[in-house]
Amino acid sequence: MRKEAITFLFCSLMVTSSLAGCLGGGDGGDDVPYAHPFVVGDDVDSSPVTGEEDGRASITEEGWSTPVRLEVDDDGAEDSTYITRDGRYVLFYHVPTFGGDGTDPKIYYTERPFQTRELHPISSDGFNAEAGPYISEAGDIYYARTFIVLESGEGYEERPVGITINDGTTIIDLGTGIKEENPHYCDAHDELYANTENDSGDTDVVVFKDGVTTVLPEPINLADTLDLQPFLTDDCQTMFFTSSRGSTTSNFPLQVYKSERLGDFEWSEPELFVSHPQPDTENGVYGGVGEFSMTRDGLQMVFLELTITAEGDDYVGTNDMYYAERE
């Protein structure tokens, strides 16, 4: 498969490629002041969620329902899915047309049963873009954003994609000097999990603790694999993350793995948790899953499924948001 298809994947499923390269135009503008549009509750809402059972992914652990595509999902590109720990909201990044149509991507949220969406106030008014939202137990919202400024009418990145919090005025610099994305703050251990990406596209799960960034060793990060998008349970003892391990064609399929904490920066051998079929190279169909999140009780999940289909020399992709629950 051509390298262009991989770049296309990064611009859509994970926003780990240069967001500047995935953006359309922009006229600049001031950031929207941060304000909480909702409060995450102490209980978990388990009211019905409906949608189509039309995905290709499956959950390896018994007892889960067949994933359904959320009704708020449309023909545009959805990304960075995150269900709040009370199950009442799903946050996600959205751009109206898959691949970009000149509209700057922004973060939206949808309230259960996830049929309509609202613009989240952390989304910028102008050229920059936000992705990968996560709300900590303390109520702070962490996310990644671009830092693009305009000079002589042309946009460029002043610094790599980085992690910020709440109104976006504070950058949590992990000190790697490369892209830092997909944050997840672990309140119980005062650790900030994220993934980095270098210029070649390689990604690693990292932990920022006591002012020091640690790249997690094997078996979380493996050589020549994409390992990214960490999500932890509230006790920080179980981690889910996206990985290309087991892929057969150009890092496809991406799948979600589960690992248990053994100690500081030590994790058990990951087990496949949300699987996706291997590429159908004969018909030019590729894909994967990622952007996994779960409610505090561990009974509901949301993830993203990507499908890329070859059409001649081009590749056409779709991103879809899926929901499943314990039956």
Q: How many Cα atoms are found within 13 Å in the side-chain-facing hemisphere of 16? A: 27
The pLDDT assigned to 32 comes to: 52
Pairing mode, strands 130-135 and 191-197: unpaired
The pLDDT assigned to 33 comes to: 58
115: CB partners within 8 A, 6+ apart? 71, 72
The pLDDT assigned to 244 comes to: 97
Which of 14 and 90 is assigned the larger pLDDT? 90
**pLDDT tier, 314 (very low <50, low <70, confident <90, very high otherwise):** confident
Identify the structural domains of the chain with CATH numbers, from first to last: 3-30+50-303 (2.120.10)
User: And the tokens for 52?
Assistant: 């189509």
Whole-number Å distance between alpha carbons of 174 and 141: 17
Task: Answer for the pair 221, 251: CB distance below 8 angstroms, yes or no.
Answer: no
211: CB partners within 8 A, 6+ apart? none
The pLDDT assigned to 103 comes to: 60
pLDDT at 8 over 50: no
Task: Answer for the pair 183, 172: CB distance below 8 angstroms, yes or no.
Answer: yes
Q: Average pLDDT, whole number, for the chain?
A: 87
pLDDT at 18 over 70: no
pLDDT at 7 over 80: no
The pLDDT assigned to 98 comes to: 52
Whole-number Å distance between alpha carbons of 163 and 96: 24
Q: pLDDT per residue over 100-158, tens digit each?
A: 555 667 899 999 999 999 999 999 887 788 999 999 999 999 999 998 887 766 777 78
| pLDDT, average across residues 49-61 | 97
The pLDDT assigned to 5 comes to: 31
Which of 117-131, 250-264, 302-316 has the largest mean confidence?
A: 250-264
CA distances for 313 relative to 2, 4, 5, 99, 310, angstroms: 9, 10, 10, 16, 7
Whole-number Å distance between alpha carbons of 298 and 296: 5
The alpha carbon of residue 227 and the mean position of all alpha carbons in its chain are separated, in whole angstroms, by 12
Gyration radius of the chain's alpha carbons: 18
The pLDDT assigned to 11 comes to: 35
Task: Answer for the pair 116, 110: CB distance below 8 angstroms, yes or no.
Answer: yes
CA angle 243-124-140, nearest 5°? 65
DSSP string over 180-226 = EEEEEEETTTTEEEEEEE-TT--EEEEEEETTEEEE--TTTS-TTS-
pLDDT at 28 over 50: no
Torsion of CA 80, 83, 88, 94, to 10 degrees: 10
| pLDDT, average across residues 207-227 | 97
Q: Which residues share a beta bridge with 323?
A: 68, 302
Percent of the chain with pLDDT over 90: 70
Which of 193 and 93 is assigned the larger pLDDT? 193
Q: pLDDT per residue over 185-215, tens digit each?
A: 999 999 999 999 999 999 999 999 999 999 9
**pLDDT tier, 67 (very low <50, low <70, confident <90, very high otherwise):** very high
**Closest by CA position to 205, among listed 193, 192, 223:** 193
| pLDDT, average across residues 71-93 | 93
Q: How many Cα atoms are found within 13 Å in the side-chain-facing hemisphere of 152? A: 0
